[in-house]
Amino acid sequence: MARTATLTYGDKKIELPVIEGSEGELGIDISQLRDKTGLITLDPGFGNTGSCASAITFIDGEKGILRYRGIPIEQLAEKSRFIETAWLLIFGRLPKKNEMTRFSDRLTDNAHLHESFRHHFEGFPVDAPPMAIMSAMLNTLACFHTEFLELEGDEAFEEATARLISKVRTIAAYSYRKTSGLPLVYPDPKLKYVANFLHMMFSEPYKQYICPPEIERALNMVLLLHADHEQNCSTSTVRIVGSSKANLFASVAAGNSALWGPLHGGANVAVLEMLEKIRRGGISAENYVKLAKDKNSGVRLMGFGHRVYKHFDPRAKILKSASDQVLALHGAKDPLVDIARRLEDLALNDSYFVDRKLYPNVDFYSGIIMKAIGIPVNMFTVMFAIGRMPGWIAQWKEQHNEHESRIARPRQVYTGPTLTDYIPIEQRT
């Protein structure tokens, strides 16, 4: 039997359909609310508002569950790789062998940037924020791939997807080289996705960077764990921009701008800044934890707690063991890593954090791993963008393929002046 919710307002009473998702989540369908009652809903921050129905990612924050297309994140982290998971997210199922080979070949073929495109990097000042370069360059891609401004059919879609996922890593590496005053390094077709990225980041014309396997694996995992997280701020931005039928490049460039904010993709930077502040200030980890517990201090333990995950962040659990492995080999002498480990140990055994379910989140460990790999802090959010690209594309595609999708256009409750006459300038007091 179809379920409904009843809304009573004044002398009006209406039945609203209740929609049930495949994991039993319930949502009241209010799409007829304004037509039938003249009312709208108000939900700043959208904490109670579902903006779409989606078959891509499932999260249960209470139970610490994250699944991509139904597959638990733990299984993907153990058995899959970033690129295979990207295909899964975008095309809805795990690729067959020939599909994986074709997609990998497409990524290799598209790793380079057009020479004219490369010259765009010359125009940026040396201290340009890499995230600003990334947003600009994702938009610039639209100029070089005009054949993909209108996308129809899986073949065109896969090619456009491969271009974006491949080139986002080249753009990221070039933004680092440019802002470090270093020569740009061409991609190497013999290398796989992550190793090729680190080659473009760290090789010199006179010295090839050799990527240790445990680093390749850890970074692969960081990217895979960031690949989608349903309707977060940047993904919702991609969908809103895409709802106007803006092309894929413009939509993901907008998502990248949303990611730049410190409340979203910038949190991993905040973790490293906190560790650096503790080191420079000579504060003990014990005293910093005390400060974080004092509500008057204005200090929070960055990298702890999560809006959605109230038990634990499943991605953090996976990254913790990856970070232990990387640090055992590459980060042992870093004083920031020592501070991070001490903070983690103190917080996990402190009733303030335990009672409030404040566990280390994904940003805590991803920041530590990237630091150990040698990725500079101002590149952390760019790394997040590389990881999130498949999610943005998958969500854009899902919306693009909906026959009845409408342009996103929220309403508001107006609180400004009521009707007011224009006053000529000489009469204004």
The catalytic site residues sit at 306, 363
Q: Does 358 bind ligand ACO (CB under 6 A)?
A: yes
Q: Among residues 327 and 362, whose Cβ is nearest to ligand ACO? A: 362
Q: Among residues 121 and 364, whose Cβ is nearest to ligand ACO? A: 364
**Binding segment for ligand ACO among 60-68, 120-128, 299-307, 407-415 (CB under 6 A)?**
299-307
Q: Does 363 bind ligand ACO (CB under 6 A)?
A: yes
**Binding segment for ligand ACO among 9-17, 295-303, 370-378, 390-398 (CB under 6 A)?**
295-303
Q: Among residues 58 and 304, whose Cβ is nearest to ligand ACO? A: 304
Contact letters for ligand ACO, residues 251-280 (x by CB under 6 A): ----------------x-------------
Strands 12-20 and 26-28: antiparallel
Site for ligand ACO in 364-383 (CB under 6 A): none
Asked whether the beta carbons of 95 and 87 are under 8 A apart, the reply is yes
Asked whether the beta carbons of 388 and 277 are under 8 A apart, the reply is no
Q: Does 102 bind ligand ACO (CB under 6 A)?
A: no
**Binding segment for ligand ACO among 98-106, 119-127, 294-302, 323-331 (CB under 6 A)?**
294-302
Select from 238, 252, 292, 379 the one that contacts ligand ACO (CB under 6 A). 292
Q: Does 57 bind ligand ACO (CB under 6 A)?
A: no
Q: Does 287 bind ligand ACO (CB under 6 A)?
A: no
Select from 162, 215, 275, 301 the one that contacts ligand ACO (CB under 6 A). 301
Euclidean distance between CA atoms 293 and 300, whole angstroms: 8
Q: Among residues 31 and 296, whose Cβ is nearest to ligand ACO? A: 296
Q: b or e along 55-88 (b: 16 or more beta carbons within 10 Å of the residue's beta carbon)? A: ebbbbbeeebbbbbbebebeebbeebbbbbbbbb
Q: Does 304 bind ligand ACO (CB under 6 A)?
A: yes
**Residue type at 396 in one-letter notation:** W
Select from 110, 251, 361, 399 the one that contacts ligand ACO (CB under 6 A). 361
β-partners of residue 277 are: none
- For 321-327, the CB contacts below 8 A with 24+ separation are 322/217, 322/218, 322/221, 322/222, 322/365, 322/369, 323/218, 323/365, 323/368, 323/369, 323/372, 325/214, 325/218, 326/214, 326/215, 326/218, 326/369, 326/372, 326/373, 327/368, 327/372
Strand order in the sheet with 71-72: 57-60, 65-68, 71-72
Ramachandran region, residue 285 (left: φ > 0; alpha: ψ -120 to 50; beta: rest): alpha
Select from 81, 199, 306, 330 the one that contacts ligand ACO (CB under 6 A). 306
Count other C-beta atoms under 10 Å from residue 186's C-beta. 13
Q: Does 200 bind ligand ACO (CB under 6 A)?
A: no
Contact set with ligand ACO (CB under 6 A): 267, 292, 300-307, 356, 358, 361-363
